[in-house]
Structure 1
Amino acid sequence: MSPGGAPATAPAVLAGRDLAFAYDDADPVFTGLNVAVAAGEVLAVLGPNGGGKTTLLRLLAGSLRPRSGEILLDGAGVPQSRRGIGGLRRRVQLVFQDPDDQLFSASVRQDVSFGPLNQGLDTDTVRERVDWALDALDITGLAGQPTHLLSYGQRKRVVLAGALAMRPSVLILDEPTAGLDPAGVESLLATLEGLRASGTTLVVSTHEVDLAYRWADRALVIDHGVLGVGPVRQVLGDTALLSAARLRPAWGPAVGRALRTSGLLPDDAPDPRTPEEVAALLDSDR
């Protein structure tokens, strides 16, 4: 784990170098922050409320401009010009926590078409992208529905489909499971796992330590600066680090310690990520 925010070992598709940002005349949210996202990985960003998670996501997506430092895409600095930011936004899509912040159109198909149409793509290409995105989010049957009649979970999927229709290299999600019931969370994770398998890089902010431990490849813990970054099992197994970030301990490492104490898990075996893994382990030990 690197408290300084060392980059991922694989080549970074998206990175922030020495980032500093402050809102108006307020104290800086952070200074000198470094982050790197490897192609094809899931990076979980965790920290307390007000610690800078959403600000960092918006900087990486180009919707905020850093006071100092730079955003890099495929290793090259992104110019803070209209053309440079436009290029970044075509490759990096940000989906906010509240879907109503990003729904613009009367119907689902119109809303998902919004981004590709603004790119100036021809009608056939837009239709192909929209159909693909609707299918990827399993909402093809909602294409003609008015957006204001959709459930909260359906609206989340529509906004995500709109981002996917842009065919981004990196998808950034701010608290994607907030407001969803357990079945909705599992359904969304299955969809995101399919996107990861197809090569989409994911950056996900969350308060849910167990979700990050179960699903992400690496974790970045911030609170007005980087507290820790590295493989998810290592970072989220550090109870002192989580306490410093005002996060509760991860479930998996706690269960792993209990199983080792009981002689049910070898010392060199990884901690379980899910209850299903624990059940399988106990069944195999009978």
Structure 2
Amino acid sequence: MTAVLAADRLSYSYPGAPPVFSELSLEVTQGTSLAVLGPNGGGKTTLLRLLCGGLRPMAGTVLLRGRPLSYGRVALAEFRTQVQFVHQDPDDQLFAATVRQDVSFGPLNLGLPPEAAAARVTSALEDMEILPLADQPTHLLSFGQRKRVAIAGALALRPVVLILDEPTAGLDPAGTEALLTTLERLRAGGTTIIVSTHDVDFAHRWADDAAIIARGTLHAGPADTLLTDSALLRGASLRPAWGPAVGRVLRALGGLPAAAPDPRSPEEVLALEPEPRP
């Protein structure tokens, strides 16, 4: 399958600090969802900022559809319309007085006619299920609503790749469920989505692929494989995913067929409960 975004032997270090990683490579397949996991300070956010052009590597190349990223002003601006980054804290991204004004900034900055920009804004707000909030002041919204506005601002640019830094951080369980549903709908519509997260259960439930980065080393592969590797997770200061552990217990008790996939949510486990006898 085609790699829409790739890192080829990237190296990066912050001033006065040892390298975060050296010669790190990763390929992201078109139309898939990728979860990037690892310990605090392990390099997750640094990798994401390199992939979106927010940082320039000391060595190596970022490629979009096989074409190396150029860091000239015009080329970088064009790249960022196709690869959008959403901050962990939405207040680092929102600045306009109302939701509609904030989400309009990107399309209008592209030079789109007002009618075309307005259509993109409406579409992005509908995708994030916040159209009724269009004329609300952003500072009066809840944290979860502000997160959705920040993502809508990125979607309004119609990116090829959407990169989210810790999208579930600060959300309650209901907010996390709602965001998961939205991200799955976007992925099903063809958007390639990359998220960094500490939440192994979220990653196991949602992602097609996973990349675990720790001590400068990256392991990438199918999420179902990586997130059941206890030794790998332990080395990255991550706990095992809930679903595979429950799956092993259920198979041992005869409650799940040997070839059945691991459950991804409590609802899937409850659905296995036998009907009460009359």
Instruction: Give the Cα–Cα distance (whole angstroms) in 2 for the partners of residues 273 and 154 of structure 1.
Output: 26
Query: For the structure 1 residues 284 and 109, does the alpha-carbon distance in structure 2 shift closer, same or farther, using more than 3 Å as the test?
Result: same
2:40 matched residue in structure 1: 49
- Measured after TM superposition, the shift of residue 194 of structure 1 is 1.1
Amino acid at match of 1:243: R
TM-score (norm 1): 0.93
Q: 224-233 vs 94-103, which deviates more? A: 224-233
Q: How large is the RMSD of aligned CA atoms in angstroms?
A: 1.4
Would you say 1:34 and 2:25 are equivalent positions?
A: yes
- Measured after TM superposition, the shift of residue 142 of structure 1 is 1.2
2:245 matched residue in structure 1: 254
Amino acid at match of 1:236: L
- Measured after TM superposition, the shift of residue 224 of structure 1 is 3.8
2:187 matched residue in structure 1: 196
- Measured after TM superposition, the shift of residue 201 of structure 1 is 0.5
Would you say 1:223 and 2:214 are equivalent positions?
A: yes
Would you say 1:241 and 2:232 are equivalent positions?
A: yes
Instruction: Give the Cα–Cα distance (whole angstroms) in 1 for the partners of residues 218 and 254 of structure 2.
Output: 33
CA contact (8 A) 2:103 2:121 kept: yes
1:6 matched residue in structure 2: none
Amino acid at match of 1:161: A
Superposition map of 1:1-286 within 5 A: 10-283=1-274
Instruction: Give the Cα–Cα distance (whole angstroms) in 2 for the partners of residues 284 and 264 of structure 1.
Output: 13
Amino acid at match of 2:252: T
- Measured after TM superposition, the shift of residue 75 of structure 1 is 1.1
- SS of alignment partner, residue 27 of structure 2: strand
- SS of alignment partner, residue 131 of structure 1: helix
Identity %: 62
CA contact (8 A) 2:24 2:218 kept: no
Instruction: Give the Cα–Cα distance (whole angstroms) in 1 for the partners of residues 215 and 76 of structure 2.
Output: 25
Gaps of 5+ in 2: none
Instruction: Give the Cα–Cα distance (whole angstroms) in 2 for the partners of residues 149 and 266 of structure 1.
Output: 49
Instruction: Give the Cα–Cα distance (whole angstroms) in 2 for the partners of residues 256 and 153 of structure 1.
Output: 31
Give the number of aligned pairs.
Answer: 277
TM-score (norm 2): 0.96
CA contact (8 A) 1:170 1:200 kept: yes
Amino acid at match of 2:244: P
Instruction: Give the Cα–Cα distance (whole angstroms) in 1 for the partners of residues 169 and 245 of structure 2.
Output: 24
- Measured after TM superposition, the shift of residue 85 of structure 1 is 1.4
Instruction: Give the Cα–Cα distance (whole angstroms) in 1 for the partners of residues 54 and 177 of structure 2.
Output: 29
Instruction: Give the Cα–Cα distance (whole angstroms) in 2 for the partners of residues 148 and 266 of structure 1.
Output: 50
- Measured after TM superposition, the shift of residue 229 of structure 1 is 1.2
- Measured after TM superposition, the shift of residue 92 of structure 1 is 0.4
Instruction: Give the Cα–Cα distance (whole angstroms) in 2 for the partners of residues 35 and 269 of structure 1.
Output: 30
Q: 185-194 vs 162-171, which deviates more? A: 185-194
Query: For the structure 1 residues 270 and 249, does the alpha-carbon distance in structure 2 shift closer, same or farther, using more than 3 Å as the test?
Result: same
Gaps of 5+ in 1: 1-9
Q: Deviations over 1:205-259 (max 9, x none)?
A: 1000001001100110001433421111100000000000000011111111111
CA contact (8 A) 1:220 1:226 kept: no
Query: For the structure 1 residues 19 and 224, does the alpha-carbon distance in structure 2 shift closer, same or farther, using more than 3 Å as the test?
Result: farther
Amino acid at match of 1:257: R
Instruction: Give the Cα–Cα distance (whole angstroms) in 2 for the partners of residues 187 and 279 of structure 1.
Output: 20
CA contact (8 A) 2:205 2:265 kept: yes
Instruction: Give the Cα–Cα distance (whole angstroms) in 1 for the partners of residues 180 and 45 of structure 2.
Output: 20
- Measured after TM superposition, the shift of residue 284 of structure 1 is 7.5
- Measured after TM superposition, the shift of residue 63 of structure 1 is 0.7
- SS of alignment partner, residue 9 of structure 2: strand
